[in-house]
């Protein structure tokens, strides 16, 4: 028979798994980060440690030669149209998250036609030790006293740039061989908005380079009001040719509330494609969950939870209820199989010791997740976070305890 298992202890965050179908479990408890839970009433102090050592990479941006014994360049970038415009290129490391926003480096890092070089144009990049993939964007930059804008027209990528601590890796060449002349279309359907939101869509596209990271694009992020009228189109996307061979487009869509991207929200992540000729469908949104018990601003009895599911949208594989008290100091995570509307947990106040939530204000985050090839009987900890989810939706409620 499936059982509900709750594990709690003094100075540890409680955890509950509902309808566990297995007799053997491995459960990890996070500590309560409070001075009262440190040895002798003190939390461990900060250590000195060893400062990290930086590294640097130098090389040249190279264009296909257009003549013998001459340095070529900027052949796939249109000429500046005014005195405020100039040819500029920048070198970047891959990002770890495809939803990160593209940020233009300082002007001191700009590579211009005036840069020195033997076969191309010199660049310098301060970095950390490791094996890096670098990419460069070349285009037109406009910098005035009030505005700065950059339009990329061409790019290149180089893999396997290894550099050790306190070392400088020299003679790294990046071929600027791929134009940014394609458009990628994202077809978005849903989710159904509630009276509180979501009210806008934030869509992103980036270039995934295997497991190494992502190329962020200047036009790779768009915000649109909901409900949408028409598809979302990303202009200035490179084809996956030349130095981008073997990469893929990675697209995400977030239906969020307010400028801060807050709850209620619904997210579809990591949609991949290798072509721009066909739209990418983003219709697998999970609908926004609704907390029925406890009611908003009422007192929770400590045992009974009820969640309502809106019809439509992607199927729900997992429901997670996170209860936070003491200003977020004490957190109780309750994990249940998808579409489980009623949940009953033990009242931790009935047990000896300080093992439950603090009395007072209670924040309740309800999350419904869709997971590829998921079985609740084989639940792993990686299934409990966004990196393991195909799509998810969440909303935040407030009560008391």
Q: Note if the bond before 188 is cis, omega within 30 degrees.
A: no
Q: pLDDT value at position 126?
A: 96
CA torsion angle 137 143 147 148 (round to 10): 10
CB neighbours of 252 closer than 8 A, spacing ≥ 6?
98, 99, 203, 204, 205, 267, 268, 269, 270, 271
* Tens digits of residue pLDDT in 337-376: 998 999 999 999 999 888 999 999 999 999 999 999 999 9
Please state which of the ranges 27-41, 99-113, 284-298 shows the lowest mean pLDDT: 27-41
Reference 355, options 7, 5, 82, 10; nearest CA is 10
- In this prediction, residue 31 has a pLDDT band, given cuts at 50, 70 and 90, of very high
Q: pLDDT value at position 60?
A: 97
Structure tokens at 83: 């005195």
Average pLDDT, the chain: 92
Interatomic CA distance for residues 55 and 111, integer angstroms? 20
Structure tokens at 220: 């790779």
How close are the terminal C-alpha atoms of the chain, in Å?
31
Reference 233, options 272, 271, 188, 189; nearest CA is 188
Its pTM stands at 0.88
Q: pLDDT value at position 53?
A: 81
Q: Are 370 and 363 in contact (CB under 8 A)?
A: no
Interatomic CA distance for residues 239 and 298, integer angstroms? 55
Whether residue 331 has pLDDT greater than 50: yes
- Would you mind telling me the total number of residues written for the chain in this entry? 401
Strand order in the sheet with 130-143: 85-93, 130-143, 148-163, 178-179
Query: CA distances (Å), 48 to each of 41, 52, 379, in order?
Result: 22, 12, 39
* Tens digits of residue pLDDT in 132-183: 999 999 999 998 878 889 999 999 999 999 999 999 999 999 999 999 999 9
Q: pLDDT value at position 70?
A: 67
Interatomic CA distance for residues 280 and 250, integer angstroms? 10
Whether residue 67 has pLDDT greater than 80: no
Q: How many CB atoms lie within 10 A of CB 352?
A: 6
Instruction: Report domain extents, the chain.
Output: 3-33+287-400, 55-179, 182-282
Interatomic CA distance for residues 90 and 112, integer angstroms? 9
- In this prediction, residue 396 has a pLDDT band, given cuts at 50, 70 and 90, of very high
Q: pLDDT value at position 42?
A: 44
Interatomic CA distance for residues 202 and 216, integer angstroms? 15
Q: pLDDT value at position 44?
A: 46
Q: Are 279 and 271 in contact (CB under 8 A)?
A: no
41: burial class by Cβ within 10 Å (0-12, 13-18, 19+)? exposed
Helix (H, G, I), strand (E, B) or coil at 131: strand
Structure tokens at 238: 């490179």
Please state which of the ranges 39-43, 154-158, 268-272, 342-346 shows the lowest mean pLDDT: 39-43
Give strand pairing partners of 79: none
Architecture of domain 3-33+287-400: Sandwich (2.60)
- In this prediction, residue 68 has a pLDDT band, given cuts at 50, 70 and 90, of low
Interatomic CA distance for residues 298 and 186, integer angstroms? 42
Interatomic CA distance for residues 259 and 265, integer angstroms? 12
């Amino acid at each position: 028979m499936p059982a509900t298992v709750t594990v709690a202890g003094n100075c540890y965050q409680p955890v509950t798994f509902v309808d566990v179908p297995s007799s053997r479990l491995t459960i990890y408890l996070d500590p309560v980060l409070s001075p009262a839970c440190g040895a002798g009433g003190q939390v461990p102090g900060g250590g000195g440690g060893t400062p990290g050592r930086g590294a640097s990479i130098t090389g040249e941006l190279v264009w296909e030669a257009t003549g013998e014994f001459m340095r070529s360049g900027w052949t796939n970038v249109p000429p500046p149209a005014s005195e405020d415009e100039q040819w500029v290129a920048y070198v970047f490391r891959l990002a770890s998250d495809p939803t990160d926003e593209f940020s233009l480096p300082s002007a001191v890092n700009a590579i211009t036609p005036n840069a020195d070089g033997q076969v191309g144009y010199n660049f310098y990049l301060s970095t950390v030790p490791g094996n890096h993939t670098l990419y460069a964007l070349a285009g037109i930059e406009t910098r005035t006293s009030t505005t700065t804008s950059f339009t990329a027209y061409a790019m290149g990528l180089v893999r396997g740039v290894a550099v050790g601590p306190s070392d400088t890796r020299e003679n790294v060449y990046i071929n600027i061989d791929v134009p940014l002349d394609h458009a990628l279309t994202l077809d978005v359907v849903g989710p159904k908005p509630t009276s509180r939101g979501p009210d806008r869509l934030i869509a992103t596209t980036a270039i995934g380079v295997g497991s190494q990271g992502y190329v962020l694009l200047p036009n790779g992020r768009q915000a649109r009001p909901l409900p949408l009228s028409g598809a979302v189109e990303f202009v200035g996307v490179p084809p996956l040719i030349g130095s981008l061979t073997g990469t893929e487009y990675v697209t995400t869509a977030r239906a969020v509330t307010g400028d801060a991207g807050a709850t209620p929200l619904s997210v579809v992540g990591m949609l991949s494609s290798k072509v721009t000729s066909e739209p990418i469908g983003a219709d697998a949104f999970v609908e926004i969950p609704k907390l029925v018990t406890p009611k908003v601003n009422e007192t929770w009895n400590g045992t009974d939870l009820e969640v309502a599911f809106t019809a439509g949208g992607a199927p729900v594989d997992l429901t997670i209820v996170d209860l936070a008290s003491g200003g977020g100091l004490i957190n109780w995570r309750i994990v249940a199989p998808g579409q489980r509307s009623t949940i009953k947990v033990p009242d931790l106040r009935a047990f000896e010791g300080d093992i439950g939530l603090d009395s007072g204000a209670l924040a309740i985050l309800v999350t419904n997740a869709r997971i590829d090839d998921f079985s609740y009987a084989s639940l792993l900890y990686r299934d409990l976070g966004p990196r393991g989810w195909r799509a998810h939706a969440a909303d935040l409620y407030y009560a008391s305890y």
